[in-house]
Structure 1
């Protein structure tokens, strides 16, 4: 299956303005004291190594809000070779320096997440082209919009964006329902939100079998080995053939294929959200000649 990102969420104008204000609270002292603010120049962003690029459109909007004119060369979700141009900006030295670092960090951070996601997607879909890679809600606090956009650019989907949209019954919920049977708990959830799937996280094969037979739509396995997932999926073929197994806990590109081979139809992961940023090279050139390359 091709890696075709869905419509990507974007950062709000207010969020971009906050990023600019954080980096430039009281003006650019260096550019000011050097007296170069009104001189014209260009700035080029390029991939320093192969990457799945993300947040390009947000970075371009940030640079525009900083006073630059921007031309995008690569769209978010695109795989780039080392040296490939991402975007070019032009404007005054003041505008270029105003937007430079925040735009660079946006793309580097998002590309790290997108590249890590794409690696998991590729490994998993080599086994099953229809498997879903779902990112958890464990994003870096304050960076959810950027993280989710990057996840989608890499070919993943959000597992759940927050507590308001999905039913996911943890053991931590069930401690308050000790007097209720699994069937009663599933029935309660289904009556309360009949249009929603009922997902139950379990810690053992027997527990997964119990909740699937009780009617749970999805059994989410927490830190199962691939062998445990295989055991559960084998038993569910007879006991609850409509239940889906979603494997979660410690899954990344190195072991995703094993879980898919074991029968998981959904891989739930937090790994991309803590991926190392991918380096973006930035070159600034004065319109009258001269240039500077930055790490």
Structure 2
């Protein structure tokens, strides 16, 4: 999925951060007006994100750019994804900002896509969603990247979802009371309850929460929870959360989780982008 998460002010700020007072090297070499061409290619198979903002950065710097493969595409190693041209001053100005953004965001998108593929290989209908543990100040970019990889956000923040944590329950008589209060206050919202053991699941199931967020349970424990839910509250969804990653996503999906909640994509290794700049 591609959508515009940036504004012109964002582009200006990104370039100003890297080139606040001009490009000393390019200007000292008297190359600023020399015609230049840049190509950007992936060094390994990747799911792309950020190509469109890279194009916008080159245009903002004063050049032009053409997208050859768009956000969301799975591309093989060696494939050229963008070509830019213009005066060397413009090309050098946008080069590293554009390259680094594509590397970070494509790394997130690639790991997201890989986790989804691993989970759906054993459970085609399982949902993969991501937590709100985005880097503060970079939420828009990171959400764009997980969307490019095929996931949806589990929570964007505290304002749009109901999630009853044990920390909330400490102020209440029990979890069931919390579920009732939330349903009364926001009847149009689904109620998610975080649980850490199958025993906690048994206590809250009579309240029929919409989703049980099973925090740091093992796949074997998720299997027990899924059986309890199927027998006593079949409308409730089981979400495995805390520590879900590429290595164990299939195990959690096979155990019966309806939803995998993960932060792993946000800490993905950046993709490796090869950039070549030549005289035009």
- Give the TM-score normalised by the residue count of structure 2: 0.98
Residues 210-229 of structure 1 mapped to structure 2, 5 A cutoff: 210-229=203-222
Distance 1:199 1:9, change over 3 A: farther
Distance 1:110 1:120 in 2: 16
Residues 48-63 of structure 1 mapped to structure 2, 5 A cutoff: 48-63=43-58
Alignment check: 8 A CA contact 1:8 1:152 kept: no
- Give the TM-score normalised by the residue count of structure 1: 0.93
Distance 1:47 1:216 in 2: 45
Distance 2:233 2:73 in 1: 40
Structure 1 position 153, deviation (Å) = 0.4
Moved over 6 A (4+): none
1:227-281, Cα deviation, whole Å (9 max, x unpaired)? 0000011011111111100000111111001101111011000000011101100
| Root-mean-square deviation (Å) | 1.0
Q: Which residue of 2 aligns with 1:144?
A: 139
Alignment check: 8 A CA contact 2:38 2:277 kept: yes
Alignment check: 8 A CA contact 1:212 1:218 kept: no
- What is the number of residues matched between the two proteins? 280
Alignment check: 8 A CA contact 1:222 1:249 kept: yes
Gaps of 5+ in 2: none
Distance 1:213 1:258 in 2: 28
Distance 1:67 1:36 in 2: 15
The partner residue of 1:206 within 199, 203, 208 is 199
Structure 1 position 210, deviation (Å) = 2.1
Alignment check: 8 A CA contact 1:211 1:219 kept: no
Mapped pair 1:195 → 2:188: yes
Distance 1:181 1:202 in 2: 12
Q: Which residue of 1 aligns with 2:17?
A: 22
Larger mean CA deviation between 209-218 and 239-248 belongs to 209-218
The partner residue of 1:74 within 55, 66, 69 is 69
Distance 1:50 1:152 in 2: 18
Aligned with 2:16: secondary structure? helix
